[in-house]
Amino acid sequence: MSRHFGEVIELSAVNPDGDLACDTAIATADARRGLSDDLARHIRKPVRDLADGVEVRFAPEGWDAVQRYVELESKCCDFLTLRLERTPENVLLTVTGRPEARPWIDQIFA
């Protein structure tokens, strides 16, 4: 696997004012299979609160799992903005949204 430090992926909310719901036709059990375990294996606590969301740090080895999560989450929860950055020390995931989305965002990495 090549490592491109400084790589950033930002997927802005396609529907920022849309329903606060996950599209289960996209986020199927098959699509999510193993993803939670992969993320949990690489997460570094604590999750940092932001004014409009959270920032979560993962070990650099977690890039592929976090990238997979961002790709899936951006499709099923189109009201969220997701930003992923790779540094030599961490993979930084930022999940943000409108104020009404805050309880939803807080649940993601509770």
Domain locations in the chain as residue ranges: 8-16+39-108
Q: 105, 90 in Cβ contact below 8 A?
A: no
So what's the pLDDT on residue 3? 61
pLDDT in tens, 30-87: 777 778 889 999 999 889 999 999 999 999 999 999 999 999 888 888 999 999 999 9
Model-level pTM greater than 0.85? yes
DSSP code string of 54-92: EEEEE-GGGHHHHHHHHHHHHHH-TT-EEEEEE-SS-EE
Closest CA to 77 of 33, 37, 25: 25
At residue 100, the pLDDT reads 94
User: What's the distance, CA 62 to chain centroid?
Assistant: 12
Residue 90 CA from chain centroid, whole number: 14
pLDDT of residue 42: 95
- The per-residue pLDDT for 1 is 44
Mean pLDDT of 84-101: 95
